[in-house]
Amino acid sequence: MLRGADIVLRCLRAEGADLVFGYPGGAIMPLYDALDGSGVRHILTRHEQGAVFAAEGYARATGKVGVAIATSGPGATNLVTGIADAKMDSVPLVCITGQVRTALIGTDAFQETDVFGLTLSLTKWSRLVRSIQEIPEVVAQAFYWARSGRPGPVMLDLPVDLLKATMEFRGAVKFHPHPKAADAKAELAFTDTLVALLQQAKKPVALVGAGVKLSGAVSELRRLLDHLQIPAFATVHGLGAVWQEAPYYLGMVGMHGTRAANMALHETDLLLVFGARLDDRVTGDPSRFAPDARIVHFEIDPAQLDRVRPCELPVIGDLAETIPGFQEELNRAPMPDWSAWRAVAGGRDRAEPEPTGLARPTKRFLDELFRRLPADSIIVADVGQHQMWAAQRYRSSSPRGFITSGGLGAMGFALPAAIGVQLAKPEATVLCVSGDGGIQMNIQELATVRRLGLPIKIVIVDNKYLGMVRQWQQLFYDRNYAETDLSDNPDFVEIGKAYKIHAQALGEEAVSDISLSASTADVLDGFLRSPEPELLVFECHPEANVFPMVPAGAALSEMMLEEE
């Protein structure tokens, strides 16, 4: 005979979840009472949003299901931003919340919130558990749906009386869905049509998204691109999936993508999309997106098709199956020589000039920092200008080496996510890049970093503004910097020291010379090599902007460049 709380933990272990993140409270207290001796390691964050972002970081770094735990009411509502983030970015996540006693549900009891209804549109699957007998089955279902198909978040709401109740436990179960609900299987009848489209194409390109990583098809994609030798580029979540050294790789695409990538996408006559949902940050004005192109969309989730404009050939299924099927057919078919097109597409900014303008010191600082990172490093970026600068400067071929909040764009993501990443990859160098706005949204997690002694390297790019909003205000709102001034920021170095984390600052002058001074090089080397947590504040020019930039409503070919 076991309590419901003990059964939950045993089922978590059976699903391979031996590390979870959370924050206790009244309705979830029986689960915390059962932790000792359960074999499940719990990480106490200092806020429930910190817990869910940390669980996301763990999941994004490993591909495993992340688990976040909170109590009812405000504990549950504090998870919502992370759940929405996981939904937008296809992160496998199981959130477990406590709920008031079954008899009190619907009475507006203390800390009662309808978290099931609240998160219904944000989850792949959710359940308000009504009996202790359901627990083994619903936990198994939760993990199945979080992992299967296009990954995403699920929610389990557990009334406190069920966690206290007892029943005979006969072991964890495995969920076996109805055959119609099984994962999408690749339909390989597309190969003849796709080969014919390629043979007719004069300017084919490949757009690579997060789906390539989620499906475990990075190696398959690289073999395919090496075979085709067509211009290729990545979304922010696709960074690292394509070999950085490949002569056909043009970098990041979209609102802050490279000129070469955006122009090639605008001019193409055949667009191959691999696991990307083509959101507005990638497409620009949808009516002028790849205007002359036929689109072939490789996608596991049919709901993502035809959202911007119809595709000529949808390829539904797991990329780990569809790409090899395509490759097999290609091996038997002659392809045109696209070398002239590749040279035109790659020649636009293959030799990238030395950064200029007010952002030059910040770009140079990130370049110097990234250049010193070991090969297995993982960069976790928050949201804002620093995020885009980091994505533009990223040069690694590590598929899970760049992690950020993309679809939702949730400020405050990076620090707690870096905690989850470092716990998942204890031997890796984890670099958290945040802004002065974003860091203050979950700055309390410095306490979690210090308590666990995690050797996370934290960079704060401090420009005394909500930088990305200020940039838009400068360019499109006549410099009306309404409520974006952060000139009264606290002293982040002293805050780091208050959390007993070694902290220091660098000004723009530290990277202004052609070659770094010995003292600046020593600071960067010591920062990265330290076995302890480190915090480094970089003082960025207040009016530095991120370029290239595609304004809202513009086509990808209408980028604003730095010299303009």
Write the CATH number for 487: 3.40.50.970
Question: Is there a contact between 348 and 526 (Cβ–Cβ < 8 Å)?
Answer: no
Residues 28 and 127 in one domain: yes
Residues 35 and 99 in one domain: yes
Q: What is the DSSP letter of 229?
A: -
CA torsion sign, 477 to 482 to 483 to 489? positive
**Is 564 a domain residue?**
no
CA distance 459 to 73: 34
Residues 202 and 177 in one domain: no
Q: What is the DSSP letter of 236?
A: G
**Is 258 a domain residue?**
yes
pLDDT along the chain (564 residues), means of 10: 97 97 98 97 98 98 97 98 98 98 95 96 97 97 96 98 97 82 56 90 98 96 97 97 95 95 97 94 92 94 86 92 92 93 84 70 95 95 98 93 97 98 98 98 98 98 98 96 97 98 96 87 97 98 95 93 71
Q: What angle do CA 346, 351, 354 make, to 5 degrees?
A: 140
Pick the last residue of a domain from 159, 181, 203.
Answer: 181
Kindly give the pairing relationship between strand 166-167 and strand 2-3. Answer: antiparallel
Could you give the dihedral angle defined by the CA atoms of residues 434, 436, 439 and 444, in that order, rounded to the nearest 10 degrees? 150
Pick the last residue of a domain from 346, 371, 390.
Answer: 346
Structure tokens at 62: 């490993």
CA distance 139 to 9: 10
Q: Which residue type sits at 289?
A: F
**Is 58 a domain residue?**
yes
CA distance 492 to 507: 14
Q: What is the DSSP letter of 557?
A: G
Question: Per DSSP, which regions of 215-316 are E strands?
Answer: 232-234, 249-252, 270-274, 294-299, 313-316
Pick the last residue of a domain from 119, 146, 181.
Answer: 181
Kindly give the pairing relationship between strand 378-381 and strand 93-99. Answer: unpaired
Backbone angles phi, psi at 68, to 5 degrees: -125, 140
Structure tokens at 120: 């219904």
Question: Is there a contact between 499 and 446 (Cβ–Cβ < 8 Å)?
Answer: yes
Residues 287 and 370 in one domain: no
**Is 560 a domain residue?**
no
Structure tokens at 517: 């001074």
Q: How many CB atoms are closer than 10 A to CB 5?
A: 26
Residues 265 and 143 in one domain: no
- The pLDDT of residue 347 is 84
* Helical residues (DSSP H) of 317-461, grouped into ranges: 319-330, 339-346, 360-371, 385-393, 414-424, 446-452
Backbone angles phi, psi at 233, to 5 degrees: -150, 165
CA distance 40 to 2: 16
Residues 308 and 393 in one domain: no
**Is 353 a domain residue?**
no
The CA-to-CA distance between both ends of the chain, in Å, stands at 72
CATH code (residue 264): 3.40.50.1220
Structural element, H or E, at residue 400: none
CA distance 381 to 479: 27
Residues 39 and 170 in one domain: yes
Q: How many CB atoms are closer than 10 A to CB 8?
A: 28
DSSP string computed for 77-111 = HTTHHHHHHHHHHT--EEEEEEE--GGGTTTT-TT
Residues 201 and 167 in one domain: no
**Is 392 a domain residue?**
yes
Residues 176 and 218 in one domain: no
Residues 99 and 144 in one domain: yes
Radius of gyration (Cα) for the chain, nearest Å? Answer: 24
How many domains are there within the chain? 3
Question: Is there a contact between 420 and 58 (Cβ–Cβ < 8 Å)?
Answer: yes
Residues 422 and 319 in one domain: no
Pick from 89, 28, 26, 11: nearest CA to 55 = 89
Question: Is there a contact between 456 and 430 (Cβ–Cβ < 8 Å)?
Answer: yes
CA distance 245 to 251: 10
**Is 194 a domain residue?**
yes
Pick from 506, 508, 509, 502: nearest CA to 529 = 502
- The pLDDT of residue 176 is 84
**Is 552 a domain residue?**
no
Residues 85 and 143 in one domain: yes
Residue 534's beta-bridge partner residues?
457, 502
Tell me which residue range forms the domain holding 374. 360-546
- The pLDDT of residue 134 is 96
